[in-house]
Copies of this chain bind each other. A is one copy, B any other.
Amino acid sequence: MATSLGDLAAAFGFELAGDPGKTVTRIANLRGATSDAISFLANPALRDELQSTQAGAVIVASCDADICPVDALIADDPYLAYARVAAALHPEPDYLPGVHDSAVIDSSAEFADTAHIAANAVVAAGSRIGEHVVVGAGSYVGPRCSIGDRSRLIANVTLVQDATLGKRNVIHPGAVIGAQGFGNAMGPDGWVRIPQIGGVRLGDDVEIGANTTIDRGAIDDTVIGNGVRLDNLIQIAHNVRIGDHTAMAAMTGISGSTVIGKRCRFAGQSGTFGHIRICDDAIIGAAAVISKDVREPGLYSGYLPAEPDKGWKRKAAWFRRIDKLARRVSQLEKSDKP
């Protein structure tokens, strides 16, 4: 969508150093940009690329405005500004209201006239679908689900049952929300399944990645706060509660009944084990294992970086004898005493 630099500056409160009438039509990287594109400099390591860019304009911080060889939009946070400009130039596709002939909707389900229900979608009994909602192709909306206004299930999404989504959610393909939690009691003849009678509640502006799973609660609900961002292939077990604006990278696993604060961040392949509590503003590093409560904000780490095999093997072997090594040190300390 062609937009003038002047309009972008006005819309988002940027300072413009250049021609307000110049139009740009797309976002591009500094290196690949042509004169119809606007780029951005958020990473100081790319200053060299800024100086040779062919972009029509660049979003920069004020400290970089002087070295920008083309028109500049000056923003406090160029990365955030990039997000906003990209959304303006590359808007979400429009979905026409209506129900595809091949969709199957239970007669007891309610849906807004403005909703878009795509090919081969299925909506089960007792569900409610809000204004401008998109139920993408092949998606399944199970019994007693509710989808808030302007939320979108991209395609092949599964809301199993008793899932309540707020407004403006985006649920990516393969996500499964509201599956039965993993609740079993051992009986004399094997595992006895525990009915999972709770639901799942997602706040507003939540985004759930591809093939991520969020189980419904055992008795009470599983709860995901407003503005939460979950990447792909994440597991959220039953009765987890996640605070507003917390973000998790791919392959994170959260154990049942864990309570996570607001604005936390989890790097990839991290996990919690046990019924953990994590305070607001905690940052969990890559592959970190959290097995007790986190009470202070800040960064928590927990991986040993891989090494060439020979060196790693030597160190792993010493780890297996670390208790013996410690005993040898104690022995030396004893004999060291006069």
**277-324 of chain A: CB within 8 A of chain B:** 284-292, 296, 298-309, 311-316, 318-323
Of the candidates B87, B273, B292, B329, the one whose C-beta lies within 8 Å of that of A267 is B273
From A15-23, A65-73, A115-123, give the one contacting chain B: A115-123
Total copies of this chain within the assembly:
3
Q: Does A63 contact B (CB under 8 A)?
A: no
Instruction: Please indicate which of the listed interface residues A267, A306, A312 has the most CB atoms of chain B within 10 Å of its own CB.
Output: A306
Residues of B within 8 A of A186 (CB): 80
With both beta carbons as reference points, the residue of chain B lying nearest to A303 in the complex is identified as: B289
Give Cα distance in the complex from A62 to B266, angstroms.
Answer: 43
Q: Does A140 contact B (CB under 8 A)?
A: yes
Residues of B within 8 A of A180 (CB): 170, 172
With both beta carbons as reference points, the residue of chain B lying nearest to A248 in the complex is identified as: B182
Place the interface of chain A in its size category: 35 or more
Q: Mark A219-251, 1 if CB is under 8 A from B, else 0.
A: 110000011010111010100000011010111
Q: Does A199 contact B (CB under 8 A)?
A: no
Contact across chains for A173 and B176 when beta carbons are under 8 A apart: yes
Given contacts A211-B211, A302-B306, A311-B323, 8 further A-B contacts (CB under 8 A): A77-B185, A83-B192, A158-B173, A271-B286, A315-B320, A321-B326, A325-B325, A328-B329
Contact across chains for B329 and A305 when beta carbons are under 8 A apart: no
Q: Does A14 contact B (CB under 8 A)?
A: no
Give Cα distance in the complex from A298 to B313, angstroms.
Answer: 14
Contact across chains for B220 and A29 when beta carbons are under 8 A apart: yes
Give Cα distance in the complex from A336 to B337, angstroms.
Answer: 11
Residues of B within 8 A of A292 (CB): 305
Q: Does A268 contact B (CB under 8 A)?
A: yes
Q: Does A94 contact B (CB under 8 A)?
A: no
Contact across chains for B300 and A185 when beta carbons are under 8 A apart: no
Contact across chains for A213 and B193 when beta carbons are under 8 A apart: no
Contact across chains for A142 and B122 when beta carbons are under 8 A apart: no
Q: Does A107 contact B (CB under 8 A)?
A: no
Q: 19 A-B pairs, CB-CB below 8 angstroms? A: A102-B104, A118-B122, A138-B156, A158-B174, A190-B205, A190-B226, A210-B215, A211-B213, A232-B235, A253-B269, A271-B286, A287-B289, A291-B303, A296-B308, A301-B307, A304-B316, A311-B323, A315-B323, A328-B329
Residues of B within 8 A of A287 (CB): 271, 273, 289
Give Cα distance in the complex from A174 to B210, angstroms.
Answer: 10
Residues of B within 8 A of A273 (CB): 267-268, 286-287
Give Cα distance in the complex from A182 to B249, angstroms.
Answer: 8
Give Cα distance in the complex from A296 to B309, angstroms.
Answer: 12
